[in-house]
Amino acid sequence: MTPAVTDETTLLAVLAPFAAAAVAPILTKWLKHNAAWPLAVIPALVFLHFCGFVGPVSKGETFVAAVAWAPSYGVNFSVYVDGLSALFALLISGIGTFIILYAGGYLKGHPQQGRFFSFLFLFMGAMLGLVLGNNLISLFIFWELTSITSFLLIGFDHLRAASRRAAIQALVVTGGGGLLLLAGFIFIISATGEIEMSVLLSSPDIVKETGLYLPIFLLVLGGAFTKSAQFPFHFWLPNAMEAPTPVSAFLHSATMVKAGVYLLMRMHPLLGDTALWTTVLPLFGGVTLLVGTILAVRQTDLKLMLAYTTVASLGLLVMLTGTSYEKALEGAALYLLAHSLFKGALFMVAGTIDHEAGTRDITKLGGLRSAMPVTFAAACLAGLSMAGLPPFIGFIAKEVLYYGTWGWPEFGLLITITAVLGNALMLVIAAAVAIKPFFGPKIETPKHAHEGPVLLFAGPVVLSVTGLVLAFMAHTTGILFVGPTLSSLVGTFTQVDLHLWPTKINAPLILSLITVVTGAVLFTQLDKLRALVAGVLTSIGWGPDKGFDQVIASIVSFSGWLTRRLQNGKMQTYMFMTFVFAGFAVLLPGYLTNSFPDMPKIPDYRFYEWGIFAIAVMGLIAVLIAKTRLTAIVSLGIQGFAVAVIFMMFGAPDLSFTQFMVETLSVVILALVMTRLNLSPKDPRTRLSALVTGVIAASVGLGLTLTLLAITQQPFDSRLSDFFTEYSRAIAHGRNIVNVILVDFRGFDTLGEIAVVALAGLCVLALIRVRTKPDKPQQAAVQPNPGEAR
């Protein structure tokens, strides 16, 4: 179905958070933390706008809107609204509304709260631009903008070394993956000739039919895996918990970390359902699921426990997406929705506990249900959904994904076992987060625990209750949200039929019972399990997090070594490297493309013209055989003057005059400088070194010669010459075209050159005026008079 063109209101909805970012500091300065209320209206209006697409999208309709951004490069600011992008837009704006409110209560009284609001809105706008992006280049720009804004948010508490390290780590990993993604997009554009996602999706096999499928697949996976913290790039996400809790609840549960999953889902019609896709994605997704849940068991910090289970959930989504099996894809779409709701709520619960009790350590918490009843209720609802228990949306998602893994004909049994183990361990963490802080004897906490303000508990309550409501409205949830998302993944309009309660005893139900029983048993042994995992990890010692530090240290060490070798203060080294790379630059393209120019015919010159050429050659020979630098400079002047005569003979007197002036000044100035230096005829180079430098110089000369020949053998395009000829007199009022070009058409360029020369002259003058102050003569030590000494 051809996408319908929507109005520019959708484009304004994407840009609205950027406008809010501009006014947030001003409102916060006036209203303090209460600025959260008017600021939350912006994402709420964006949410309502995208709610208007739910009905049409559920019927299979899609929409596009665009304005020209950089039309000469084919880059438009365009959006594409279908089931997948609409769901993400609703999650970003809907959860973002409560994150803004939560940030108002969480950072109450913080001197930089306005800046924090601004960063949140910048990130929200970047995420909306990413998930709604239709143009590949604009999508990439928003992709990298999420990395930059997350860097600002993770490092918000920049006075702490741990925050700075986590921010840099996240930026390096996700930003590096973004560069891989850019390369993948460039390959797609060059291979298909298309730059709009909606056009590519209309021909799903267009990428698979190209010979660049493998590099495109690997590059896209590099961007997705780093963004969504897939093993072995999972380490940056738990470290990002150094950020304030509103960041964790927004970026690291519902939005940024799912950008990679979004990309894989979006690219599934183009890259999916191949042997490579259905092997690599389930493998890495399954490993990430198990690694994330096992590492979560080791933790006692509430946020870290939730962070590692987020890594596991992302692995589960990648594993399901990698099957290319429709029922598994349906489970991925539903679990995407469920996870965003319960994990966002639980992160805010963890932050509220820390804010009101003064600690997030689960071993130092207990008996808080009476002191924090609303937070306790929200934690129970979200925890039950995370555990996959009825009657919550998490239970339905688990049933559907088990249906998909069990029915996958390729490696169904293997990924089903992986999913059961991962979900059982996630049930353990869900129970620990929802039960441990609130039940048992009351433990004294650093702060007197009490219920937080409405700004803190509004988000957890609404999100956890929404997970319950969507489960009771399972059929409607399937029609409005899951079905359209699944249609985007498979590339054709598909409807789903969800039910809260299983209609019969089947394999998914049995697998759910096994998951619950296994999780309950493991929860009773949580302390022993934590000690076991900690012991194993301690014995291993090394991990990707340490590996990251080692890689960064190696890069810094190598950079220092390379800088010391190349930037050693010796002009000879600088010239050598310059000519080496110049030689590669002029010779390598011709060698790779086998496109060297034809050798020109020897022209019929007069005898005196050949004489001038002979003088130039003799000057060159004189330079090569000169014993001293001064002789070489004078000999170089011979060649320069010969070239000036050649210019004059072939009808360029102004250029010839310039060449005469330059050569005269160069020889005089260099000769004067050389009289102040050591003119010893000794050449410090060995014969091998002289041979190497000679080969490099000859290569550069040959390369430049071939380049000029290739240029002159092309058809001459006279449009620019005709322009200058026609308008030099009419517009610039000058007869000398060269002068007009220099002082009029390229006036600013000439002004810049004059400024550079003037600045260099001032620097030389300053150096000349520097005088080393003579040391003051030391006064002779006064010997004491023996008589006075008495």
Could you tell me which residues come within 8 angstroms of residue 785 by beta carbon, excluding any fewer than 6 positions away?
none
> Given pLDDT bands bounded at 50, 70 and 90, which one contains residue 775?
low
pLDDT at 260: 95
Q: Is the pLDDT of residue 611 over 90?
A: no
Give pLDDT, residue 771. Answer: 57
Residue pLDDT, tens place only, 157-210:
999 999 999 999 999 999 999 999 999 999 999 999 999 999 999 998 999 988
Task: For residue 475, give both structure tokens.
Answer: 């059929």
Q: Which residue has the higher pLDDT, 404 or 251?
A: 404
**pLDDT in the model for residue 704:** 86
Q: Please compute the mean of the pLDDT values over residues 58-77 and round it to a whole number.
A: 89
Q: Could you read off the pLDDT of 690-714 as tens digits, one per residue?
A: 888 888 888 888 888 888 888 888 8
Confidence of residue 683 (pLDDT cuts 50, 70, 90): low
Picking from 168, 271, 264, 166, the residue whose alpha carbon sits closest to that of residue 212 is: 271
Which whole number is the average pLDDT over 538-564?
91
Q: How confident is the model at residue 781 (pLDDT cuts 50, 70, 90)?
A: very low
Please say if the pLDDT value at position 414 is more than 80.
Answer: yes
Structure tokens at 670: 């260099």
- Going 563 to 567 to 572 to 575, the CA torsion angle's sign is positive
Average pLDDT over residues 130-156: 95
- pLDDT score for 678: 66
Q: Is the pLDDT assigned to residue 770 strictly greater than 80?
A: no
Residues 6+ apart with CB under 8 A from 67: 8, 11, 76, 77, 78
Q: Which residues partner with 66 through β-bridges?
A: 78
Q: How far apart are CA 182 and CA 193, in angstroms?
A: 15
Q: Write out the two tokens for 426.
A: 């996630």
Higher pLDDT, 36 or 660: 36
pLDDT (average), residues 739-743: 81
Q: Looking at residues 272-286, what average pLDDT do you find?
A: 96
The band of 666, judged by pLDDT with boundaries at 50, 70 and 90, is: confident
Mean pLDDT of 139-152: 96
Positive/negative CA dihedral, 470, 473, 475, 479: negative
What pLDDT, on a 0 to 100 scale, did the predictor assign at position 777?
Answer: 52
Please give the Cα distance from 332 to 87 (Å, whole number).
Answer: 13
Nearest Cα to Cα of residue 404 among 339, 334, 329: 329
Confidence at residue 772, expressed as pLDDT on a 0 to 100 scale: 53
Max mean pLDDT among 71-80, 261-270, 600-609, 737-746 falls in 261-270
Closest CA to 485 of 612, 321, 613: 321
Instruction: Give backbone dihedrals phi and psi of 79, rounded to 5 degrees, phi first.
Output: -120, 155
pTM over 0.75: yes
Structure tokens at 380: 């129970």
Q: Residue 785 above 80 pLDDT?
A: no
d(CA 378, CA 349): 8
pLDDT confidence of residue 780: 45
Please check whether residue 376 is in contact with residue 281, taking contact to mean a CB–CB distance below 8 angstroms: no
Stretch 463-474: mean pLDDT, rounded? 96
Q: Which DSSP category does 742 fall into?
A: I
- Alpha-carbon distances of 275 from 280, 411, 555, 619, rounded to whole Å: 9, 12, 36, 66
Pick from 143, 354, 147, 164: which is nearest to 266 by CA?
143
Per the CB < 8 A criterion, the answer to whether 417 and 425 are in contact is: no
Would you say residue 783 has pLDDT above 70? no
Q: Nearest to residue 380, comparing CAs of 329, 406, 345, 409?
A: 345
Quote the mean pLDDT of the chain.
89
pLDDT over 60 (residue 782): no
